[in-house]
Structure 1
């Protein structure tokens, strides 16, 4: 069975540098699993690798979606699997790198992409009902038809409540739960590695990265995106760093508060990423505080 290597880990842990060196070692290419880097024009805030940093290694699924467009997990799965097949056809082992757990799930498991199903008319009807009768009416309906989903959705999160109702309306089945014993993929022999560091060391790297992206021109980047007509109603602008700057431009916080908000948001995101990746039974952890890049790559190569 054809192999794929997945390098997962929290923001700022060091995935980019290690993956590029690994791809050089294996004479292969990288497939991104990052839900912000996939968008065009979102460069600085997403810490997208520059051409210089890529060091001649081809990267797939970076800069491929307009920031005006939505991009679902099923869209990612389709595009990533096409890129994987292309590399396998060339006799290469794809290196998939990123921190978006749902993207990685889409390659690890046989997924039922109910999230790609849509019924705009039903959604509009539910939104109208919420405006007229209140969101609690919809939440009660969700409790009646899909109590497990209702337990995982906050009653005030109207968007998720409506989405759960929409999926049930279209498929006749409850929302898929990550913890419901998903079936591992039979498409690939998956080698899954998680990158970690001491928590305080990681948080320090995150805090320093935030200062760096401001020095690189984050405010100017978001101002340019805003001038194109993008705002926080677009999926692309929901990423950490972008949504906070938009709030800043609306006068919602001072510059110091902005920096602190992005640092804190990034630290919280890293914590959630660790929680997500620790669910994987087959993940092999590499501590980058203890291993050099070369040593980490040597550990990975042992499994090939």
Structure 2
């Protein structure tokens, strides 16, 4: 019999964390973070990592596993998530995955086989040489021409992912987007997918307010400490909430500009998250627009009770 897994998805700041705690309390659950940035130690405020007192005694997994200078791929994420699902289920607890980018969540819940397409070292080496000679923007612009969907999901300075996408294209003739779409969406789990949405203007207000709270809690100091430790060019520092402040520390823009850009990038990311989940996965959606959020949490809990009883 397939293990049951709850997944709570939706744009940033929509209320996934609060819902996950209520589900875990009611159905004997444990929470697995689906945010690939929360695995990094010392990156707490910018990733909206749950605080100890907010956990209400619920066990959380996939948090603080790596140092900020360590890389963490989609395949790594899949491996860890599936390991924790097994571990939680084997203790007769309900695994609840919360948050994260669409590709990472999809990879964790479905049978994406990342080892199918072996690396072609000769192509990789040639692309790395081009990177050194032409710079990252040249390769990124090429990816935008070949596979604009993938380019939108990759930061231009994330050389590893840009090169991998170009290598897939050269070795298979398929774009990374096409390659991922060919993966069989056959899950090894009995999935209950919950999506939270909110009227856009209200969601954007919440996102802006969350950024302001992060600044009050010390986000700038958190990023400064990582910057001063030499992590500027690490994969982890390409995350929203961190990359926006690098120009400020270099004297290239004001703090106010950095905060404004962070709010804008956070809103854009929320829009991309929502679009991905709407288009890629069959999710039960709930509108959390205030003042009906509390009422919707009770409805979700009741709906889940019926689903879990009949599984």
User: TM over 0.5: same fold?
Assistant: yes
Contact 1:4 1:191 in 2 (8 A): yes
User: TM-score, normalised to structure 2's length?
Assistant: 0.84
**Where do residues 17-56 of structure 1 align in structure 2 (5 Å cutoff)?**
17-56=18-57
Q: Residue 296 in 1 paired to residue 300 in 2?
A: yes
Matches within 5 A, 1:122-161: 122-129=123-130, 149=147, 153=151, 159=159
Q: RMSD in angstroms over aligned alpha carbons?
A: 3.1
How far apart are the structure 2 equivalents of 1:95 and 1:253?
A: 40
Provide the rounded CA distance (Å) in 2 between the counterparts of 1:135 and 1:236: 18
Aligned match of 2:219: 218
Q: Map of 1:75-90 to 2, 5 A cutoff?
A: 75-90=76-91
Per-residue CA distance 1:77-128 (angstroms, 9 max, x = gap): 1111010001111122200001311111113322131699656775343232
SS at match of 1:66: coil
Conserved 8 A contact 1:13-1:202: yes
CA distance in 2, matches of 1:138, 1:245: 25
Given that 2:109 and 2:188 are in contact with CA atoms closer than 8 Å, whether structure 1 keeps it comes out as: no
TM-score, normalised by the number of residues in structure 1 = 0.86
- Partners of 1:250 and 1:264 lie apart in 2 by 21
Q: Is the 8 A contact 2:110 2:188 kept in 1?
A: no
- Whole-angstrom distance in 2 between the partners of 1:109 and 1:8: 15
Deviation, 1:149, is: 4.4
Question: Is the CA contact 1:117–1:167 (under 8 Å) kept in the aligned structure 2?
Answer: no
Q: Is the 8 A contact 1:114 1:167 kept in 2?
A: no
In structure 1, distance between residues paired with 2:139 and 2:252: 31
CA contact (8 A) 1:5 1:94 kept: yes
Structure 1 residue 208: deviation in Å? Answer: 0.4
Shift of residue 2, structure 1, vs aligned partner: 1.6
1:177 aligns with 2:177: yes
Residue-pair matches, total = 298
Residue 241 of structure 2 corresponds to 241
Q: Rate the CA distance shift 1:204–1:167 in 2: closer, same or farther, 3 A.
A: same
Shift of 1:302: 2.8
Q: Unpaired runs of 5+ in structure 1?
A: none
Q: Distance in 1 between matches of 2:200 and 2:143?
A: 38
SS at match of 1:302: helix
